[in-house]
Amino acid sequence: MILALAGGVGGARLAQGLAAVLPPDRLVIVVNTGDDFEHLGFPICPDIDTVCYTLAGINDASQGWGLAGESWAFMDAIARLGGDGWFNLGDRDLATHSVRRMMLESHSLSQVTAHIAGRLGIAHPIAPMSDDPVRSIVDTDEGELAFQHYFVRRRAEPRFRSIRFEGADRARPSPALLAALDDPGLEAIILCPSNPVLSIAPILALPGIRARLEARTVPIVAVSPFIGGRAIKGPAAKIMDELGIPATPAGLASWYGGLLDGLVIDRADADDVVEGLRLHITDTLMRDGDDRRRLAAETLDFARSLR
Amino acid sequence: MILALAGGVGGARLAQGLAAVLPPDRLVIVVNTGDDFEHLGFPICPDIDTVCYTLAGINDASQGWGLAGESWAFMDAIARLGGDGWFNLGDRDLATHSVRRMMLESHSLSQVTAHIAGRLGIAHPIAPMSDDPVRSIVDTDEGELAFQHYFVRRRAEPRFRSIRFEGADRARPSPALLAALDDPGLEAIILCPSNPVLSIAPILALPGIRARLEARTVPIVAVSPFIGGRAIKGPAAKIMDELGIPATPAGLASWYGGLLDGLVIDRADADDVVEGLRLHITDTLMRDGDDRRRLAAETLDFARSLR
């Protein structure tokens, strides 16, 4: 059994690849919830939705978030009524948030996520990292900003100084995450190519999770979200730069501080020297389903080779 | 100053006519909230929205509810997620319910309604009958049904036995309704051609309202929603029939039990004999804005003639 930790777009793509090469009972996808927030009265879980929409094949691939063929009549009407327009909620996407809001009155986020994923036809389990609220707060040169205010409203433009995960110290890891870590059949843990600071760090910040990952004897392998010093999507390279960490395999290894057994990197970074870490060098850009399946299969083979 | 009591479609049409012939400081439109309910987690106020959309000129005139040019992507997605599909919420309409839900956390329904009406460009005051919840419950041959379950889900098909207005006995009339009744400038009270049983009765059921209407010395005039024994829209005639009351001017007068000073009826009903009530006979069918203005103006002239 494989445990994959994922955030948004890049993580969702590899998760889709993993789901294509592993049966549903051999993969658990645990998703960051540090980006979650409430907007226009709806509980928004951007990373969970990106993973679900991607695995269901209904995501907007060009935009990187939301649903393909989405319409925006709701947002037009919200603007007319004077509501906040800085975070777009598509008409179809809104159904996800509405169902989540209703179900959360009597169900955990894990249960709600399983319901939504099931209705979208996804066979593989997708779970939040925690059913308790964790909220990423970014400290910037403009002061502290709630995550989506930094990321969407301010387009990740303010200089990133640090991040803290409000609530993480008392958030219980989700049942699926705990079960996967306890599963005697666990073969490897994959850190998907999501933003290491924004998407993977919140998961590692949950009480006991980092210690449990370090205590596991199964390989922990990350797939680098960087190619030639740049992120494929989003501000990961900019943030690493502002933290003084190079957006390279070596920078990534130092960021994870000894947690990793192996790292999958792009050919463009083949010359980067990473001490004390096994590398798998390949094409990491995932343009289509074939790329995703291939990268997932290579990552699994590589992880198994490290046992 | 004129106080108009209104429910859905027919009431909204006459209210629009009244707004066309009266300045904003000479008209208060008070709307039934007995039809209100919560659906998919949204607070739905069908009659308030019908009145607001109609006065803003953005209503769907052919359908009789909702917004013109509405789209239904949200409902499609709700169906996919297994949500209730029997009550349609359009993508644009949803913005109204979302803003209402958010604002109700810290504002009264009166304040929320004034905000929404203002954003829609409506100058005339529109207020709910009460800021406290009142819920119409219909007793039928299939048992008691919450109003929208009777009206929309079961399409008003079950046999109507009686109606009760849950919460009406402890609901305070809204500030606008109380202020209008206390206003020394009040000239007349118009009962718009809404369903007398479903739309006007809940307003009259509020504590003290019927007594205060009866105590007023200003004329109370109803505009009949019936033409030739039929309702122009909706199940009003069917319900009157099931209650054993003819859908005629005389039936309407008996339903209101002495409350009215005058009744505006259609030429088709000119031969109906109504004891002890002044009648104004005209064309009551409101096809367009001209019809609405004319009927409103005639109704006002008639009401003033009864002073």
Question: What whole-number distance in Å separates Cα of residue A201 and Cα of residue B194?
Answer: 59
In a domain, A81, yes or no: no
pLDDT grade for A239, boundaries at 50, 70 and 90: very high
In the block, tokens 């990740």 appear at A156
User: How many Cα atoms within 13 Å fall on the side-chain side of residue A238?
Assistant: 12
Q: What is the mean pLDDT of residues A62-88?
A: 94
The pLDDT value recorded for residue B169 is: 96
Q: Does A92 touch chain B (CB under 8 A)?
A: yes
In a domain, B183, yes or no: yes
Which of chain B's residues have a Cβ under 8 Å away from the Cβ of A92?
Answer: 73-74, 76-77
CA distance B38 to B47: 14
DSSP B253-307: HHHHTT--SEEEEEGGGTT---TT-EEEEE-----SHHHHHHHHHHHHHHHHHT-
Question: Residue B101 and residue A41: Cβ atoms within 8 Å?
Answer: yes
Give the nearest chain B residue to A42 (CA atoms).
B98
For residue A116, the chain B residues in CB contact (below 8 A) are 81
CA proximity to B85, closest of A95, A235, A20: A95
Q: At what angle do helices B109-119 and B93-104 cross, to 10 degrees?
A: 140
Interface probe, candidates A80, A87, A103, A115, chain B, greatest B C-beta count within 10 A: A80
Report yes or no on A75 lying in a domain.
no
Q: Does pLDDT of B217 surpass 90?
A: no
Q: Does B39 touch chain A (CB under 8 A)?
A: no
Residue A217 in this model has a pLDDT that exceeds 90: no
The answer to whether position A294 is within a domain reads yes
Q: Is A78 in contact with B101 (Cβ distance < 8 A)?
A: no
Pairing of strands A262-266, A278-282: parallel
Terminal-to-terminal C-alpha distance of chain B: 13
| Residue A307 scores a pLDDT above 90 | no
Q: Which of B42, B82, B116 sits opposite A119 (nearest CB)?
A: B82
- The reply to whether A51 falls in a domain is no
Q: What is the pLDDT of residue A275?
A: 84
A259-278, pLDDT tens digit by residue? Answer: 999 999 999 999 988 888 99
Inter-chain CB pairs, A–B, below 8 Å: 99
CATH of the domain at B256: 3.40.50.10680
Instruction: Return the number of other C-beta atoms located less than 10 Å from residue B167's C-beta.
Output: 18
**Predicted pLDDT at B275:** 84
Cβ <8 Å between B41 and A98: yes
pLDDT tens digits for range B24-49? 999 999 999 999 999 999 999 999 99
pLDDT band at A97 (very low <50, low <70, confident <90, very high): very high
Q: What is the reported pLDDT for A71?
A: 97
Of the candidates A189, A192, A295, A201, the residue with the CA atom closest to the CA atom of residue A245: A201
Q: What is the CA radius of gyration of chain B?
A: 18
How buried is residue B29: exposed, middle or buried, by Cβ count under 10 Å (0-12/13-18/19+)? buried
pLDDT of B274: 85
Q: CB of A78 within 8 Å of any CB in chain B?
A: yes
Tell me the residue range of the domain where A259 lies: 2-34+124-305
Average pLDDT over residues A284-302: 96
Per residue, the 3-state secondary structure of A244-280, as one string, reads CCCCCHHHHHHHHCCCCCEEEEEHHHCCCCCCCCEEE
Residue A207 Cα to chain centre, angstroms = 18
What's the pLDDT score for residue A148? 93
* Residue A232 clears pLDDT 90, i.e. is over it: no
Residue B233: the pLDDT is 80
Decide if A92 and B73 are in contact by the 8 Å CB cutoff: yes
Subunit contact A77:B92, Cβ cutoff 8 A:
yes
* Chain A residues within an 8 Å CB radius of B83: 95, 98-99, 102
For A185-211, how does the pLDDT look when each residue is reduced to its tens digit (9 = 90+)?
A: 999 999 999 999 999 999 999 999 999
The reported pLDDT for the residue numbered B76 is 96
Tens digits of residue pLDDT in B170-185: 999 999 999 999 999 9
Contact B96/A at CB under 8 A: yes
For B41, the closest chain A residue by CA position comes to A102
Q: If pLDDT is split at 50, 70 and 90, which confidence band does A8 have? A: confident
DSSP A151: I
Average pLDDT over all residues of chain A: 95
Give the Cα separation of A15 and A8 in Å (integer).
Answer: 10
pLDDT of residue B260: 96
Interface of B with A in 120-179 (CB under 8 A): 120
Helix axes B93-104, B46-55, angle to 10 degrees: 120
pLDDT of residue B188 exceeding 90, the answer is yes
Q: Is residue B244 part of a domain?
A: yes
State the pLDDT at residue B291: 96
Which residues from A are below 8 Å from B71, CB to CB?
71, 73, 91
Cβ atoms of residues A95 and A40 within 8 Å:
no
Residue A5 has pLDDT above 90, yes or no: yes
Tokens of B301: 């002239």
**Residue numbers in B near A101 (CB within 8 A):** 41
**DSSP-based helix, strand, coil % in chain A, nearest 5:** 40, 20, 40
Average pLDDT on B203-225 reads 95
Q: Does A40 touch chain B (CB under 8 A)?
A: yes
Residue A276 pLDDT: 85
What is the predicted pLDDT for the residue at B8?
86
Residue A33 neighbours by CB under 8 Å, 6+ apart: A45, A47, A48, A109, A128, A129, A130, A133, A134, A202
CA distance B158 to A262: 68
Tell me the residue type at B278.
R
Residues of B in contact with A76 (CB under 8 A): 92, 95
Which chain A residues are closer than 8 Å to B115 by Cβ? 81-82
The model's pTM = 0.93
Structure confidence by residue, pLDDT tens digits, B129-181: 999 999 999 999 999 999 999 999 999 999 999 999 999 999 999 999 999 99
Among residues of chain A, what percentage have pLDDT more than 70?
A: 100
Tokens coding A72:
């925006």
Mean pLDDT of A99-119: 98
Whether the ipTM is more than 0.95: the answer is: no
Q: Which residues of A touch B95 (CB under 8 A)?
A: 74-78, 80-81, 83
Q: Which residue of A has its CA nearest to B105?
A: A41
Partnered with residue A83 across adjacent β-strands are none
The total number of structural domains in chain B stands at 1
Angle in degrees, CA B181, B186, B192, rounded to 5? 80
Give a yes or no: residue B217 inside a domain.
yes
Question: Considering only CA atoms, which of B244, B299, B252 is closest in space to residue B275?
Answer: B252
Mean pLDDT for the stretch of residues A14-22: 98
**Contact B125/B176 with Cβ under 8 angstroms?**
yes
- pLDDT of residue B234 exceeding 90, the answer is no
CA–CA gap between residue B163 and residue B134 (Å, rounded):
12
Q: What is the pLDDT of residue A182?
A: 94
Does the pLDDT of residue A37 top 90, yes or no?
A: yes
Q: Is the pLDDT reported for residue A93 higher than 90?
A: yes
What whole-number distance in Å separates Cα of residue A262 and Cα of residue A209?
19
Decide if A80 and B120 are in contact by the 8 Å CB cutoff. Answer: yes
Q: In whole angstroms, give the CA distance from residue A217 to residue A187.
A: 9
